[in-house]
């Protein structure tokens, strides 16, 4: 099992394959993904991702944060077609 010096832990519902595909396409150095824990209800998992280079860890964290922000924003938008209401505080 490979372990590199730059580590990030994350909780996600995304498939591991999707994360590995991003890593393959964006990282300059080597990396390793370890499944640390799976929720009892299978809704999410906790992963440890280690990187050979600090820059790859920074890029991954930024991309993951951006994806989470976009998902939260999309979830906050009311479904107007279904007559949904915006319940966010102004």
- Domains of the chain with CATH codes: 6-75 (3.30.70)
Residue closest to 6 by CA, chosen among 22, 26, 29, 25: 29
Tokens 């964290």 sit at which residue? 61
The reported pTM is 0.76
Tens-digit pLDDT profile for residues 17-52: 999 999 999 999 999 999 999 999 999 999 999 999
pLDDT of residue 25: 98
Distance (Å, whole) CA 9 – CA 56 = 14
Residue with more model confidence, 90 or 59? 59
């Amino acid at each position: 099992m490979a372990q590199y010096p730059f580590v990030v832990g994350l909780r996600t519902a995304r498939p591991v394959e999707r994360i590995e595909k991003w890593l393959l396409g964006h990282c300059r150095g080597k990396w390793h993904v370890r499944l640390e824990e799976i929720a009892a209800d299978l809704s999410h998992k906790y992963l440890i991702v280690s990187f050979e280079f600090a820059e790859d860890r920074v890029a991954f964290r930024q991309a993951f944060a951006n994806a989470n922000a976009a998902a939260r924003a999309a979830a906050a938008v009311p479904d107007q077609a279904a007559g949904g209401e915006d319940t966010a505080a102004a």
